[in-house]
A and B are shown apart, each in its own frame.
Chain A
Amino acid sequence: MEVLGVWIASLLTLAIYSFLYKDNPFYKVAEHIFVGISAGYWAVILWFDFAWPNLFEPLIVKGNMVYLIPIIIGLLMFAPFIPKLSWLVRIPLTFTMGISMALFITQIIQGDILPQLQATFLPLAGIHPFKVFSNLLIIAGVVFTLIYFYFSKEHKGTLGFAAKVGIWFMMVSFGASFGYTVMARISLLIGRVYFLLHNWLGII
């Protein structure tokens, strides 16, 4: 059974890679198997890990009626399938939006803007000169990048120059991100090749 599993996994892996030559039925079959299996997986996990213990069990087994409220709001997600009632889908949407946005606003200020602002007030004296230079660069970089995003005034003259410096900082940052993206993709490939060579063929 275990060996069969490795063979299934390996053949499916090769089916996906066959796409590199050109699009073909093997790839398409593998792709659809993936979506089907994943969706089935989500349904099962959501039910067992959350929906049953946190919603339906308290309602059905313990008879706690309060749990009817989130269930009814949630069920309204299916309203669009009944044309006359389709507008009711707005209730779960507005309910979740209202709560998440309110929490988002307070948390983004408390957890993101304030600590990040604080971290930008860096010391410029009493430290190694190179550290002073680096700290100055960070402060300048944050300010100039922000200026680039300031669209209320045309980017001309001093403002234009500042925005341009902001772009330079962003370009370095995007370059770094690109380098890391390459790294990520290659790592995923290494993972699969390792699987084929180690688990399937057993040559490493």
Chain B
Amino acid sequence: MGQVNNILARLSALDRRIIFLLVAVAVIVPLLIPIGLPVDITKPVKNIYDKVESLPEGSVVVVSIDYDPGSEAELYPATEAFLEHCFRKNLRIFMLALWPAGTPLGNMALENIGAHYNKKYGVDYINVGYKPGGPVMLLSLGKNVGDMVKTDYAGVPIDSLPLGKEVKSARDMALVMSLSAGDPGVLHWIIYFHARFGIPVCAATTAIMAPQQYPYLASGQLVGLMGGLKGAAEYETLVKRRGRALAGMDSQSIVHALLVLFIILGNVILVYQRSKR
């Protein structure tokens, strides 16, 4: 009994740096020695995939980079996986960013994936860069793209690009994908853009935001949802792409298991301390 007492007392006084170290090990080891746990596909992710599959060739998909480097780890793999699917289906991409630091991230993904499918800038995809004004901007964009977009991200007049000339208003858009880490982001695409213009919206959000999107999934205002890195891993599985999200899933699983152990241990200590009192 005394021994148990001793161990629990020591555990409850554990230096947090030891916990930090355990977490680091739980992340690093599965990356070095992958286990290959199978990834299940959830319905909200499958819904995005099916929606993209259903679009006719040449349709314009709006991809909105509503995140910045702070969420790059979660949302960049989703960006690439989604673009891969769109380019494979010969859909055209109209990219913009509601977050100032999003544009180059979007460009990186467009260039990486676009090159693989021999897509041409200006014809198959364009990036019009950062647009301030959040929700109000979206209302203007839907009515008349030209009001908000004079040039692309590099300053090239939008009218000189074939795809830029074609996208005049929301009517020319088939689907919106908001890769969203907060406000402005997916909520504004739903409440402002979708409500006003009726264009279907799907999203890839940080895991933190994912639970808040469920009422919109239920109401049909959101077609589908990739929640966090797991959502991206599901999409990578669907499009048969071995990307960063899938590579990270073993670590994700092991750390979660470790944290659940921490929670259980913390509560055992609590129960033990109570019973002693």
Contacts and interface: CB of A to CB of B under 8 A. Distances in A.
B130 interface: yes
Interface in B45-62: none
B155 A53 contact: yes
B229 A190 contact: yes
A148 B85 CA distance: 44
B207 A190 contact: no
A107 B192 CA distance: 6
Which of A20, A173, A183 lies at the interface centre, i.e. has the most chain B CB atoms within 10 A of its CB? A183
Interface in B214-247: 215, 218-221, 227-230, 244, 247
A189 B27 contact: yes
B266 interface: no
Interface string B60-77: 000000000001111000
Contacts of B244: 191, 194
- Looking at chain A's contact residues, the main secondary structure is helix
Contacts of B114: none
B153 A49 contact: yes
Nearest to B34: A204
A116 B187 CA distance: 13
A99 B136 contact: yes
A100 B100 CA distance: 20
Given A53-B151, A53-B155, A181-B207, A119 B220 contact: yes
Given A20-B17, A184-B228, A189-B27, A173 B211 contact: yes
Interface stretch (B87-95, B115-123, B162-170, B249-257): B249-257
Chain B interface category by residue count: 35 or more
A200 to B, nearest CB: 13
Given A49-B131, A190-B27, A111 B227 contact: no
B195 A186 contact: no
Contact of B135 (A41, A54, A107, A176): A107
B191 interface: yes
Nearest to B158: A53
Contacts of B83: none
A183 B252 contact: yes
B139 to A, nearest CB: 7
B13 interface: no
A71 to B, nearest CB: 14
Is chain B's binding surface mostly helix, strand, loop or mixed? helix
B74 A191 contact: yes
How big is chain A's contact interface, by range? 35 or more
Contact of B210 (A53, A118, A180, A192): A180
B252 to A, nearest CB: 6
A118 B219 contact: yes
User: Which one of A45, A104, A187 has the highest number of Cβ atoms from chain B below 10 Å of its Cβ?
Assistant: A187
B113 interface: no
Interface string B2-31: 000000000000000100100110011001
Contacts of B131: 49-50
A182 B155 contact: no
B94 to A, nearest CB: 15
A45 B251 CA distance: 36
A193 B259 CA distance: 18
Given A180-B208, A193-B28, 11 more contacts: A20-B20, A49-B153, A54-B148, A138-B218, A183-B256, A184-B208, A190-B252, A194-B31, A194-B244, A197-B28, A204-B32
14 contacts: A20-B17, A104-B135, A107-B135, A110-B196, A119-B220, A183-B228, A186-B252, A187-B73, A188-B71, A188-B74, A189-B27, A191-B73, A194-B244, A194-B248
